Structure 1
Amino acid sequence: MHTPEEPQSLPTELHAYLEELLRRTRAVCGPHLVSVFAVGSLALADYRHGRSDVDVTVVVEPSLSGSALHDLAGALAHPHLSCPAAGLELVVYGRDFVGRPSGEAGYLLDLNTGPLLSNRVSFDAAQSPSFWYVIDRSVGHQAGLSLFGRPAREGVAAPDRADVLAALRASVLEHSDGEGHLADNRVLNGCRSVVFCRTGRWMAKRGAAQEIATTEEDFRPLIESAVHSFERPRSSAVPLPTAEVQAFLAWVRERVDETASAAGV
């Protein structure tokens, strides 16, 4: 793979897929392509094959045409490009947008595709709640795994802390609703949110779970059950007690609100 990263930093199961994804992206975007980097579990070294998505951010010159964005969505869609992971979540931004802090979604293309994802293609950032994208850009600035072009930290501005905390609160509310989310992922995302509030750094879900289970004895059994479930394929996820998940997420929301209040947000 033509990547600034060492090959061993990427899961073996994804080498051929990411190489072809990068080849197709370069072919469609040409000289307008600025950088490509991995976020999510790949960036935080917690990818689990059969469970995790492949999260990729693409940065392009804002002069890239709308037709090229449509072509890129078609070129990377599963099964036209067969995704070996649970799915591909790919977001394209203009270089000018990601070069400054923002609390907006701001994407040019948002593509969800893969064997375990509902296919989604959006070219209008107003269609989507912004918090997913703010969190991904914050992770990308901290730990983005460069696949092509400029390093993520140089090309993607860190969102302001106030915007990240607002995004975390929106994320917790989304997971509290529960619709469309596995219970284990709801709990582990909550752990990661609290660790960010405490440290200002993003940690992999299982590492964050260990941190919170160590300090919050009342929630330890639930968190350990969530980790056990998370280590299984999505189709074999273990149900978790609804009331306990809701109570935990209410506690997470309180921690996020306390952090925001202390920061004057």
Structure 2
Amino acid sequence: MTRTLADPHSVPTELRPYLQEVVHRTHALCGSHLVSVIAVGSVALGDYRHGRSDTDVTVVVDASLPGRALSDLATALAHPALPCPAAGLELVVYDADFTARPSGAAGYLLDLNTGPALPDRVSFDPTRSPAFWYVIDRSVAHQAGRVLYGRPARAVIAEPARPDLLTAIRASISEHSEGEGHLADNRVLNGCRSVHFCRTGRWPAKRRAAEAVAASEERFRPLVRAALRSYERPRAAATALPTTDVQAFLAWVAACVDETVAADRRE
């Protein structure tokens, strides 16, 4: 068994002991069936903010992993049995045969949310979850995933096909437009990230994407900068943003995605 991260300096100092223990417990339960443990989300994109960000982890296993190992893993990693120093842990386990191919499906074996600021969730049925979260996360993993253990992200996680990815982005905007369960600043910054992807084909850190949108879109500059200021605060201290302004911004983001889809179809 291992307690050593592949590259400890690739993750924030505040998370190193915790992620080492995540790797250790995952390896202890999966053994030779474990292919990779990969940091995604804000850690992968170099924008982790302690006290605000989740830590997102993708685990890839081979198809012969015994089913009971998944429930044992969910128990072993649950907060507070393993105290999470971040706002929460969002961990997804996939079969290596599934991640090796582009897919627009959720496709997970286990989806675990746990931590001091997250509602607990354990799911073993991908048909019960909206696919878009997982499609976007796999794209981030393919482009920027930081290996904590095992094989490189690009070697085990295929980039989703662009039409599937744009469909996922459009669905994520609809989810954020509803607003329930999402901080207003995060809704705006995720919208900025979606626009940046449509313009460049790359996933940036949220704050970098927001700075780019603020620079290019004068009408939304005050809102985006207010969202950036709020994002510097802990979750509990996030500031309110005008609902009508947020909705107008997200409608513009949705139109940007729709225009990208239309342009792709013309090519």
The whole-number CA distance in structure 1 between the counterparts of 2:55 and 2:6 is 18
1:176 corresponding residue in structure 2: 177
The whole-number CA distance in structure 1 between the counterparts of 2:257 and 2:227 is 21
Q: Which amino acid is the alignment partner of residue 12 of structure 1?
A: T
2:6 corresponding residue in structure 1: 4
The whole-number CA distance in structure 2 between the counterparts of 1:250 and 1:238 is 21
Normalising by structure 1, we get a TM-score of 0.98
Q: CA deviation at 1:34?
A: 0.4
Q: Which amino acid is the alignment partner of residue 254 of structure 2?
A: R
Q: CA deviation at 1:65?
A: 1.4
Q: Does 1:263 align with 2:264?
A: yes
2:213 corresponding residue in structure 1: 212
Residue identity over aligned pairs, in percent, reads: 68
Q: CA deviation at 1:3?
A: 2.6
Q: Does 1:45 align with 2:43?
A: no
1:211-265 alpha-carbon deviations (Å, 9 max, x no partner): 0000000000000000000110000000000000000000000000000111119
For these two proteins, the number of residue pairs brought into alignment is: 264
Q: CA deviation at 1:4?
A: 2.7
Q: Which amino acid is the alignment partner of residue 185 of structure 1?
A: N
Q: How does 1:44-63 map to 2 (within 5 A)?
A: 44-63=45-64
Structure 2: which 5+ runs fail to align?
none
The whole-number CA distance in structure 1 between the counterparts of 2:63 and 2:225 is 45
1:31 corresponding residue in structure 2: 32
1:173-193 alpha-carbon deviations (Å, 9 max, x no partner): 000000000000000000000
The whole-number CA distance in structure 2 between the counterparts of 1:4 and 1:15 is 11
CA RMSD of aligned residues (A): 0.8
Normalising by structure 2, we get a TM-score of 0.98
Q: CA deviation at 1:9?
A: 2.2
Q: Which amino acid is the alignment partner of residue 185 of structure 2?
A: D
The whole-number CA distance in structure 2 between the counterparts of 1:204 and 1:184 is 14
| SS in structure 2 at match of 1:264 | helix
Q: CA deviation at 1:8?
A: 2.5
Structure 1: which 5+ runs fail to align?
none
| SS in structure 2 at match of 1:36 | strand
2:107 corresponding residue in structure 1: 106
Verify the 8 A CA contact 2:5 2:23 in the aligned structure 1: no
Q: CA deviation at 1:108?
A: 0.1
2:157 corresponding residue in structure 1: 156
1:56-87 alpha-carbon deviations (Å, 9 max, x no partner): 00000111111110000000000000000000
Q: Which amino acid is the alignment partner of residue 183 of structure 1?
A: A
1:82-115 alpha-carbon deviations (Å, 9 max, x no partner): 0000000000000000000000000000000000
2:120 corresponding residue in structure 1: 119
1:156-178 alpha-carbon deviations (Å, 9 max, x no partner): 00000001100000000000000
The whole-number CA distance in structure 2 between the counterparts of 1:106 and 1:19 is 26
The whole-number CA distance in structure 2 between the counterparts of 1:74 and 1:261 is 45
| SS in structure 2 at match of 1:153 | helix
